[in-house]
Chains A and B, each alone.
Chain A
Amino acid sequence: MLASLIIVFREVLEAGLIVGIVLAATEGVAGRGRWVTMGIAAGILGSCVVAWFADAISGLFADTGQELFNAGVLLVAVAMLAWHNAWMAQHGREIARDMAAMGRAVSSGERSLAALAVVIGVAVLREGAEVVLFLTGILASEEGGVGTVLAGGLGGVALGALMSALMYAGLLRIPTRHLFRVTTWLLTLLAAGMAATAVSFLAQAGVLERGGDILWDSSGLLRDKSVIGQALHVLIGYTDRPTEAQLLAYLATVVAILGLTRLAAGSAQPVRRAANPAE
């Protein structure tokens, strides 16, 4: 029973931490609870669908379906994070002004919430499908029963949610005036880490033949599967054995998102002077 709990926890940890970051990044934006919930719900639903079709997916593209699927959804998340940061660069000032003016949550950030909901959905989907396969495997065999599945599933998910809460609470300790800048960087590095993971799946599928040399091994210091390692993986894209191709993808993503953000900030509308005296 404990074993099943630990396995489920290990799978949901990353998604849980990502939820925590997104919550911190959207602090003060109205409707975020709904979008985050929708992202999680869609991810869970998607997990069941993916688990159901797991063998079919795995068999696609000369048996590289699983990797290409993982790499594909990760790249969708990378694109969403890039778009979110660019959008915030363009509209962040208006949002900050509205928040200051109204002294409460504003709805103008809702558009970019959809992008972050997709990121959460993807994170839940990837690991969730593995949890579903694992738990249905237990049900199908003589290893345990409904009790084990429930304890493992619910307990593991509860622990994942606890990690979300811890990550969120930790990030909120950052003073409000710095929080936005910090979370923007975190989302950029999260995207870079996801791009690096996508590359790792492409290498595993045999699609990437070069760039497979491991640059360094810091697993003696910190394993990327440990709780702290996972937290750092989500926060800054930490990987204990990065390959050349992974580092390249990581750096290229950071440069691309920074460039895109600059471009978007440059085209930002100057903040409208109060046409409405009530503002």
Chain B
Amino acid sequence: MRHRIARLTLSAALLLPVAPAFVTPVWADDAPITIIIKDHRFDPVEVKVPANKRVTLLVDNQDATSEEFESAELKVEKIVGGRKQIKVAIGPLKPGKYPFFGEFHEATAKGTVIAE
């Protein structure tokens, strides 16, 4: 019985959040939109992206220190190592403004995604 429960638990956990219909290969088709981090600031500060579609952001950290690229509005939370790049998928976004920030240097590292 215990084994059966363990097996059921495991299979349930594996099946749960990834209903197969949802799973498709990675990253949006279009070229990613680049955001540079330098001296704990984002460049550009305002990032324009198309609304109502999946978009890939490329965050290029040119500082030596790690940063956490984060936005509750975009539902993103990802560490960017020093002198590293990361990609995150966002959207589809309704037209509007979506602030993001670098959690490790919040005083200076602030920006906004503008979906239009």
Contact = CB atoms under 8 A, between A and B. Distances in A.
Nearest to A249: B17
A213 B54 CA distance: 11
B5 interface: yes
Contact of B6 (A83, A210, A245, A253): A83
A223 B17 CA distance: 24
Given A54-B79, A140-B65, A256-B12, A199 B17 contact: yes
Interface residues of B, number: 47
B46 interface: no
Interface in B68-105: 68, 72-73, 75-79, 81-82, 84, 86-92, 103-104
A267 interface: yes
A211 B22 CA distance: 7
Contacts, number: 145
Contacts of B65: 137-138, 140-141
A98 interface: no
A26 to B, nearest CB: 19
Interface in B36-64: 54, 56, 64
Contacts of A76: 13
A85 to B, nearest CB: 9
Contacts of A202: 17-18
A267 B5 CA distance: 10
A46 interface: no
Nearest to A268: B1
B26 A140 contact: no
B68 A54 contact: no
Contacts of B21: 210
Interface in B1-27: 1, 5-6, 8-10, 12-14, 16-19, 21-24, 26-27
A55 B84 contact: yes
A208 B82 CA distance: 28
B89 A203 contact: yes
Contacts of A205: 26, 89
A150 B13 CA distance: 39
A213 B52 CA distance: 10
Interface in A133-185: 133-134, 136-138, 140-141
B66 A134 contact: yes
B13 to A, nearest CB: 4
Given A3-B107, A79-B13, A206-B56, A248 B6 contact: no
A224 B72 CA distance: 8
Contacts of B8: 260, 263
B16 A58 contact: no
B13 A7 contact: no
Contact of A137 (B23, B24, B82, B88): B82
Given A203-B75, A264-B5, A209 B24 contact: yes
Nearest to A253: B16
B106 interface: yes
Contacts of B27: 62, 206
B28 interface: yes
A239 B92 CA distance: 18
Given A137-B65, A212-B54, A249-B17, 16 more contacts: A54-B81, A58-B81, A58-B84, A75-B13, A75-B16, A82-B12, A83-B9, A133-B79, A204-B75, A208-B22, A209-B54, A211-B22, A212-B91, A245-B17, A252-B16, A256-B12
5 contacts: A3-B107, A86-B9, A140-B82, A202-B17, A264-B1
Interface of B: 1, 5-6, 8-10, 12-14, 16-19, 21-24, 26-28, 54, 56, 64-66, 68, 72-73, 75-79, 81-82, 84, 86-92, 103-104, 106-107
